[in-house]
Structure 1
C-alpha cells in the first residue's frame, strides 16, 4: 500500500452541493475501516473520518472504499503531461503491485493483518471528478481508457495504514473482472447479461441489469 487517503471537505459547485470529499490526502496513521451501511442513511464512507458529500451517488456498503493503482497513475501522467499524487482521483487506497482493474468482482483482498475487502465495480466518473481534473472531455476519456480503479465492500472490518501488504486470498469460480464489467456496462449494452455472471455484483446493479435486459 503506497498511501491511505482521507478526504478534506471542499465546496462542490459542480453538483451544487455544500461539500465534496474528493480531495483526498495521505495520512500517516492507522485508519479504522468499517461497514458504513446503506448509501443514503448510513455512515457513508467505509473509512472513519472520510467525508462524502454526494450521498446519493457515493459511499454505502458496496462503495465503502475506493482503490486506485499507482501503475495507472504513472500511465495517466504520461498521457496528461502532469504529475498525479496519490489521492488525486479521490481514492482511499493508492496501491502498488496488485491488478486493481483485473480484479474479479467478488474476490477477497486481505489488507494488513485483518482487514478484508471485496471488489464490487469500477468507478463511474461524475461532474465532480471532471471539475477536479479540469481536463477537456475528461469523463469520456476516463471511460474510454477503462482504468477505473475499484470500489470495494468490507468483508472483515479492521485498520489500514500505509505500507500494509495486499494479498488476494479468494477468487470466485465464476465472475467478471472490474475492467470487463465496466466496459460492458458503459460501452457495450448488448452484452449486459454478462454482468450477471458475477455473483457478488451489487444488488442494485443486478436489479438494474435484469430490468434492462428483460
Structure 2
C-alpha cells in the first residue's frame, strides 16, 4: 500500500555549509496534524534559496522511506523523515520511478510529478558527507518534485492514489540520468526522454530540450 509516512516542514538552519544564502530550509521536521499543500508550497514550510527552489513546479518534494533506510545503512547514519529535505516521506512508493506528468491524489490534494531533485553542496553539508553529491548521483534515486493541481490538506497515514500516467513512459530517474550524464546510452536515452518534453514545466523543458539537442548533435558527429 502506498502511504504518506510523514509530512515535514522546514526548520531553518544557518552555517558555512548553507552556501551563499547563509540559511537553508533543507532540514525538514515531521509535524502532527493536517498540513495544507497549495500551488505556492506547503503551509509552515520555508524556502531560502529562491533562485533554485520554490517555483510552482517545486511546490512540494517527495522522497521514499525506503531510500532513507538505504542511505542510513550506506552511510552509517540514523536518517529520519524529512532528512532528505522532503515534504512528503512516502512508503510503498518508488517515487523515482514515477512518470513525468503522472498525477497523484493524496488526502485532499492532487499533485503532478514535474521532475527530479538535483543534489547540491548544501545537501552534502547538511548530511556532513563529503562526496555525497557524487554518491547520490551515482545511486540515481532522487525522489520527485511535485506541482499542486488541487490544494488540500494531508496527514501522515494518507494513501497515495495514482490518477493518471502519461503514455510517454519517461521516469523521473531516467530524466535525472540524462541531465547528470549518468548512463552510457545517452543518445538513446535522449530520444526516450524527448517524449516527456510537453509534460515538463517551461523552464525545465527548455533546459532539457537543449540537452537533448546536444546529445543528438554528438551522435551525428
Larger Rg: 2
Higher helix share: 2
Q: Give 3-state SS (helix, strand or coil) of 1:2's partner.
A: strand
1:42-61 equivalences in 2 (<5 Å): 46-61=41-56
Q: 2:126 aligns with which of 125, 128, 132?
A: 132
TM-score, structure 1 normalization = 0.90
Structure 1 residue 175: deviation in Å? 3.6
Runs of 4+ aligned residues of structure 1 deviating over 2 Å after TM superposition are 188-196, 209-212
Q: 2:84 aligns with which of 86, 89, 106?
A: 89
Q: Which residue of structure 2 lines up, in the alignment, with residue 79 of structure 1? A: 74
Q: Which residue of structure 1 lines up, in the alignment, with residue 199 of structure 2? A: 200
Structure 1 residue 196: deviation in Å? 2.4
Establish whether residue 146 from structure 1 lines up as the match of residue 140 from structure 2. Answer: yes
Q: Give 3-state SS (helix, strand or coil) of 2:69's partner.
A: helix
Taking the aligned partners of 1:196 and 1:35, their CA distance within structure 2 comes to: 26
Structure 1 residue 181: deviation in Å? 0.9
Q: Give 3-state SS (helix, strand or coil) of 1:77's partner.
A: helix
TM-score, structure 2 normalization = 0.87
Q: Give 3-state SS (helix, strand or coil) of 2:200's partner.
A: coil
Q: Which residue of structure 2 lines up, in the alignment, with residue 8 of structure 1? A: 11
Task: Supply the RMSD in Å over aligned alpha carbons.
Answer: 1.5
Q: Which residue of structure 2 lines up, in the alignment, with residue 42 of structure 1? A: none
1:172-191 equivalences in 2 (<5 Å): 172-187=166-181, 188=183, 190=187, 191=189
Structure 1 residue 12: deviation in Å? 4.5
Uncovered stretches (5+) of structure 2, i.e. residues with no partner: 215-221
Establish whether residue 67 from structure 1 lines up as the match of residue 67 from structure 2. Answer: no
Q: Which residue of structure 2 lines up, in the alignment, with residue 102 of structure 1? A: 97
Q: Give 3-state SS (helix, strand or coil) of 1:17's partner.
A: coil
Structure 1 residue 193: deviation in Å? 4.3
The verdict on how the C-alpha distance between 1:150 and 1:12 changes in structure 2, with shifts beyond 3 A counting, is farther
Q: Which residue of structure 1 lines up, in the alignment, with residue 219 of structure 2? A: none
Uncovered stretches (5+) of structure 1, i.e. residues with no partner: 37-45
Q: Deviations over 1:170-189 (max 9, x none)?
A: 11112410111111111155
Q: Answer yes or no: is the 8 Å Cα contact 1:77–1:83 preserved in 2.
A: yes
Query: How many residues align structurally?
Result: 204
Q: Which residue of structure 2 lines up, in the alignment, with residue 164 of structure 1? A: 158
Q: 2:37 aligns with which of 33, 37, 41?
A: 33
